[in-house]
Amino acid sequence: MTPGEYREAWAWVHFMLRGTPQAKQVLLQYVQELRTNSRPGVLEPRLSAALLSPHEALHRHLTELDKKQRPATAQGFSQP
């Protein structure tokens, strides 16, 4: 796994845990299945079934995180 792939994987996990209840449920069910099935298949189809556009939802989630992380002056607001 490359460093970029690793970062993307963690971005998906963060989104699924903190983004939407539907995404969290998909992840939790997948992890639960891993307990009894070492080859549960690909996660993406399950996420696509729960969300209309998982990639767009991830992008929105990361954009919101970025907005929260930047100070107000970096967002175009001046401080008094």
pLDDT of 18-69, one tens digit each? 999 999 999 999 999 999 999 999 999 999 999 999 999 999 999 999 888 8
Q: Phi/psi of residue 55, each to 5°?
A: -65, -40
For range 3-28, the mean pLDDT: 95
Residue 31 forms part of a structural domain? yes
Distance CA 63, CA 54 (A): 14
- Residue numbers of the domain that contains 18: 3-69
DSSP letter for 72, please.
Answer: G
C-beta separation of 5 from 51 below 8 A: no
Confidence at residue 75, expressed as pLDDT on a 0 to 100 scale: 54
The pLDDT confidence band at residue 73, using thresholds 50, 70 and 90, is low
Residue 74 forms part of a structural domain? no
Residue 79 forms part of a structural domain? no
Residue 80 forms part of a structural domain? no
What domain count does the chain have? Answer: 1
C-beta separation of 64 from 18 below 8 A: no
